[in-house]
Every structure is written in C-alpha cells, then in structure tokens.
Structure 1
C-alpha cells in the first residue's frame, strides 16, 4: 500500500505530470504538443517523460509518445479520483443536510450539479431557483415533506395559465399545514380543481423534498430544525432515474386528494 501511495504522491505533486499522462492516455503527442499544452520547458518535459518511461506508463512511438495500457489505467484512475475529490469539495458544506439514507444513486452523479445556498442578500436563493424552474416547466412531479406558498403559487399559475402538468405526493402534515391557512387552502383547492393537476397524500414519512421539472431533478435541503440550507439541481440520468422510481413508489402507495377533502 505504501508503494502505491508513493506513486499517487509522485503524480499528484506535479500538475504537469497529470496533464502529460492524461494527454498521452488520450492519444499520441509530440514533445512540442505537450509543451504547448502544459507550458512546461523541454527540460521539465524530458524529466517527466523519462520518469514515465521508467514506470512503463508511456512509450516512444512515431516521433512522439503514447501511454501504455498501464499508463492509461493510471490516468483513468487518477482522473476518477480527481473527480471524486472535486465533487466532495463541492458537497462538503452541505453534506450534513443530504438525505443520504433516502438516496441510492452514486454521489459522483452530482459532479456537474448546480448547488445554490442562501446568502445574506438572498436568504431564499435555493427556493427562488426552484420557483424559477417551476415557472418554466411543462411537467412537474414532486415528492416532499413540505409544500410552501411560493412553490404552490408558481405551480398554480403554470397549471392554470400555461397548461403545466403537475403530480405531487406530499406528507399529510405538509398538506394540513397549507389547509390551516385559509388563503393557502383556497389556492390549493383551485390547483386541485384545475385540469392537469393531481395530488396524493402519504401517511408515512417522506424524508426529503424533491421535484422533477421537465428533465431536471431539484432537491431542497433543510437542517433538522427545518431551516433551508441548500438546493441542488441536476439533469444527470442516474439521478433522474432514481427520482422517477422513487416518485412512482410514493405515488402508488399514496391516497388521492380531492378539492372536496379540504372543505371545512
């Protein structure tokens, strides 16, 4: 293990080594091409290539260099490690709020996700991003332990004015909270009375708040006190597949909600 760590350290300590090996893993390059890509001097490139040849990671070929099979293996593995670490750094500030017990996709699928966090000037930035996405979507499916007035308003307007299709599964407490407010109850009744909108209630706990707006999955992350901490949105296929499967499960085990159910 120590020798393997030493090889990782050897590669990681030099961005030029990483760049050269990655380039040669992708195909044949001359020293001039490698110099243009890295900005390294010919002397530095000579040392890097000699070190790589000693490790049988590259070989000379047709006036240039190319990675060997093991060199490609190292390059691919190192690229994977870099991707994992970059994703971890992106998620580091919000990992405590990720409902990891409720998601079963690889967190690496969030590598290209957009993370929105509150700021002093925009404390509701995550929610506003979601509302903006809801306002542009043709189809929305949701499963959540909460349904706030801003999301409700955006969905109601889109369903009524623009023909949005909305299906949502919410915990009973989420709907009861809305129904306790006369104004929000009226808006919820109006939504349920519109064509294209369906809501179901789930008695069991829904441990997260997720919405699929067209092809994008949006997660709202809150802490244990219910304070909004972040929003994550992504169009990664694996995350979308997880969201669709989870929604279908909740939908099939929930009870339809009618506008008449909210009348007092």
Structure 2
C-alpha cells in the first residue's frame, strides 16, 4: 500500500509528469513536442523521462518516446482518479442532499454538470435556473415529489408553446389543490391538450426535469428547502431520467380537470 501511494504521490506532485505521461500514452512524441506541451525545460524533461524509463513506463522509439503498456495503464488510471476527484470537488457542497440512492448512474457522468447553489444575494438561484430551462424548452418532462407555485405558473403561462408532461406524487398534487388559486392553475394545465399530469402510485424520491436535452435535478434538504440545481446534457444521465420517467408514468394515473373539481 505504501509503495503504491508513493507512486501516486510521485505523479501527483508534478503536473509536468502527468502531462508527459498522458501525451506519450496517446502516441509517440519527440522531446520538442513534449516541451511544447508542458513548457518545461529540456533538463526537466530529461529527469522526467529518465524517471519514467526506470519504471518502464516509457520507451525510446526512433527519435522520440512512447508509453509502454504499463505506462498507458498508469496514465489511464491516473486520469480516472483525476476525473473522480474533479467530480467530488464539484459535488462536495451538495452531496449531503443528493438523492444518490435514486440516481442509478455513475456520478462521474456529472463531471460537466452545471451546479447552482443559493447565495446571500440570490437565495432562489437554484429554482430560477430550473425555471429558465423550462421557459426556453420546447418539450418538458418531469417527475417529482414537489411542484411549487412558481414552476406551476411557468408551465401554465407556456401552455400551447411547449409540450409538458409530469408525474407527481399524491402529496405534491394535494399541496397544490389545497390552495384555490393553485388548484385553478393546475386545472388549466391538465385541461390543455399540450400538457398532462399524472399521479404516481408510489413515492418519488427525486425531483427531475428533462427540458429538451438538459436533465435538471433539483436538490432539497430534509425540510424541503431547495439547496441546489444540478443540470447536465450527459447521455447516460438523460437515459436514466427517461427510464425513470417511463417507470413512474406506467405506475400512475392521469389527473383530470374533473378530479380537481370534486
């Protein structure tokens, strides 16, 4: 274990070493090409390449160098570690609130996610991000355990301009119908041919909206307070969201204007 950690430290302490190894893992490079990629001096490159040759990570080929099989293995593994740590840093602020039990995909797929958290000047920034996505989309699909009045208003105001489908929990629907104004707004939505809302048979532990090609996850704490908006165009996350929506759609019943007038 200690020897392995020492090798990781050997690479991690030098961005130039990482760049050189990754470059050589991609193919043969001359020392001048490595110098251009790193900005390192020839003396520094000489030391790096010497250290790599001692470990049998690189070999001289013609007038240049290339990674050996184990060198490529190390480069790939170290890149995976860097990617994992980059995702962890991005998610660190919100991981305590992420419904990871319901997120059936590798969190590395959130590497390029846009994460919006509340601030003192913009306490509603996460929700505003979601509303922005919905307003700009031609097609919106959602499944959630909550739908607040602002989201409902944006949906109602856009009737006819976009297609909207959602599966909500019974609790989410009941919270809207408890208010006369929101009940009327909800009735408008379910009566419009471009929209549809269904009531899930079971609980939905996550709030997900698919706005065109963007998947948004609205993250709440145990008290229901929005803590972050996480959105991505990653294909694997999109596939997960569409699969989960279809599951909830199958296990749900349509909400009609007649239901809301009872």
1:62 is displaced (CA, Å) by 2.3
Report what 1:76 is aligned to.
Answer: 76
Q: Which residue of 2 aligns with 1:175?
A: 173
CA displacement 1:133-153 (0-9 Å, x = unmatched): 101111111110101111111
8 Å contact 2:201–2:251 — kept in the other structure?
A: no
**What's the offset of the Cα at 1:168?**
0.5
Partner residue in 2 for 1:30: 30
Distance 2:99 2:66 in 1: 44
The whole-number CA distance in structure 1 between the counterparts of 2:244 and 2:18 is 40
Aligned to 1:61: 61
Matched, 1:148 2:148: yes
The residue matched to 1:207 in structure 2 has which SS?
coil
Matched, 1:245 2:258: no
**What is residue 184 of structure 1 aligned with on the other side?**
182
The offset of 1:129, in angstroms, is 0.8
| Corresponding position of 1:255 | 253
Q: Distance in 2 between matches of 1:248 and 1:227?
A: 27
Task: Name the TM-score, length of structure 1 as normaliser.
Answer: 0.97
2:218 aligned partner = 220
Deviations 1:203-253 (A, max 9, x none): 421111111111111000011111110000011111111111111111111
Could you say what secondary structure the match of 2:215 adopts? strand
In the TM superposition, structure 1's runs of 4+ consecutive aligned residues that sit over 4 Å from their partners are none
Structure 1 unpaired stretches of 5+: none
1:205-216 correspondence runs (5 A)? 205-216=203-214
Residues in 2 aligned to 1:62 and 1:98: alpha-carbon distance in whole angstroms: 52
- Please report how far the alpha carbon of residue 158 of structure 1 lies from its aligned counterpart in structure 2 after TM superposition: 2.1
Q: Residue 138 of structure 1 aligns with which residue?
A: 138
SS where residue 233 of structure 1 aligns? strand
Contact 2:126 2:218 in 1 (8 A): yes
Distance in structure 2 (CA, Å) of the matches to 1:140 and 1:146: 16
CA distance in 2, matches of 1:121, 1:52: 50
**CA offsets, 1:144-176, max 9 Å, x none?**
01011111111122223x1x1111100111111
The correspondence of residues 79-158 of structure 1 with structure 2, limited to 5 A, is 79-158=79-158
Which residue in the other structure is 2:195 paired with?
A: 197
Work out whether residues 214 and 238 of structure 2, in 8 Å CA contact, stay in contact via their aligned partners in 1: yes
Greater displacement, 36-45 / 82-91: 36-45
Shift of 1:196: 1.5
- Tell me how far apart the structure 2 counterparts of residues 174 and 207 of structure 1 sit (CA, whole Å): 12
- Distance in 2, matches of 1:159 and 1:141, equals 14
CA distance in structure 1 between the aligned counterparts of 2:218 and 2:7, rounded to whole angstroms: 41
How far, CA to CA, are the matches of 2:68 and 2:19 in structure 1? 16
Greater shift after overlay, 202-211 or 46-55?
202-211
Q: Name the TM-score, length of structure 2 as normaliser.
A: 0.97
Quote the residue 2:229 is aligned against: 231
What is the total number of aligned residue pairs between the two structures?
262
